């Protein structure tokens, strides 16, 4: 019993000495000799994410997809989990509870939130909650889809082929059939087909013709 009391007393003395020693260093820590950690240091938005906005989250045949809007180039695009965009942006994870997605470009990983299109660096070891619904949990995807279709129509209308003559002038209608423009389809008669086969232009036909 006496030995137990002695050990307890010794432990208390050691704890008191340790506390006194810690108080000596606490004064130094309170002065922040290395400077205080600012909010900018804790949350840094990568340059590639500053113009990105998360527009929609949905599933197609059980596959998670997210719609993005790049305000810098006025472009909308869709990514499935694990896919990369043309410029290397990868959709890593979808977080239902946070209404956010994890994206990565190069070595920089960040989180895009639905609410205001903001991005913030949060711990990336949080998996989607078990039993997350496969149906839509966020439903602005219709607005995204309509905007996407509108921009695609505008792109197609700007890609109308204009045919011009070599000198830059208009192409006369009589010259359109293979002269300065792609050849137009022409019906081939049996006589023409036979002549082309004789000249080796087209392979011989094995189809038997009826004799009259």
pLDDT tens-digit readout, 76-114: 888 888 999 989 999 999 886 677 899 999 999 999 988
CA distance 58 to 51: 22
pLDDT tens-digit readout, 148-163: 666 667 766 665 455 5
Instruction: Map residue 156 onto helix, strand or coil.
Output: helix
In tens digits, what is the pLDDT along the chain, a chain of 212 residues? Answer: 544 445 455 555 555 555 555 565 555 555 555 554 443 333 678 888 888 988 888 777 778 788 888 888 888 888 888 999 989 999 999 886 677 899 999 999 999 988 644 333 333 433 444 444 443 444 455 566 666 666 667 766 665 455 555 555 554 444 444 444 455 555 566 777 776 666 666 667 655 555 54
The model's pTM is 0.41
What lies within 8 Å, CB to CB, of 110 at 6+ separation is: 45, 46, 49, 102, 103, 104, 119, 120, 121
CB atoms within 10 A of CB 79: 19
Retrieve residue 61's tokens: 């045949």
Q: Which residue carries 């922040």 as its tokens? A: 32
pLDDT at 128: 43
């Amino acid at each position: 019993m006496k030995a137990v009391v002695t050990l307890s007393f010794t432990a208390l003395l050691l704890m008191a000495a340790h506390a006194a020693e810690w108080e000596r260093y606490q004064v130094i820590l309170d002065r922040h000799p290395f400077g205080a950690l600012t909010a900018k240091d804790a949350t840094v938005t990568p340059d590639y994410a500053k113009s990105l906005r998360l527009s929609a989250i949905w599933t197609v045949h059980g596959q998670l997809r997210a719609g993005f809007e790049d305000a810098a180039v006025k472009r909308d695009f869709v990514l499935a989990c694990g896919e990369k965009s043309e410029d290397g942006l990868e959709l890593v994870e979808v977080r239902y509870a946070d209404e956010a997605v994890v994206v990565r470009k190069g070595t920089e990983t960040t989180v895009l939130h639905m609410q205001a299109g903001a991005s913030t660096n949060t711990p990336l070891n949080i998996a989607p909650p078990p039993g997350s619904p496969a149906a839509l949990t966020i439903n602005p995807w219709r607005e995204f889809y309509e905007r996407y279709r509108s921009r695609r129509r505008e792109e197609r209308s700007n890609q109308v082929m204009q045919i011009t003559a070599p000198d830059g002038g208009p192409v006369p209608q009589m010259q359109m059939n293979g002269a300065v423009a792609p050849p137009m389809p022409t019906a081939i008669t049996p006589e023409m087909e036979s002549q082309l086969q004789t000249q080796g232009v087209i392979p011989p036909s094995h189809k038997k013709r009826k004799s009259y």
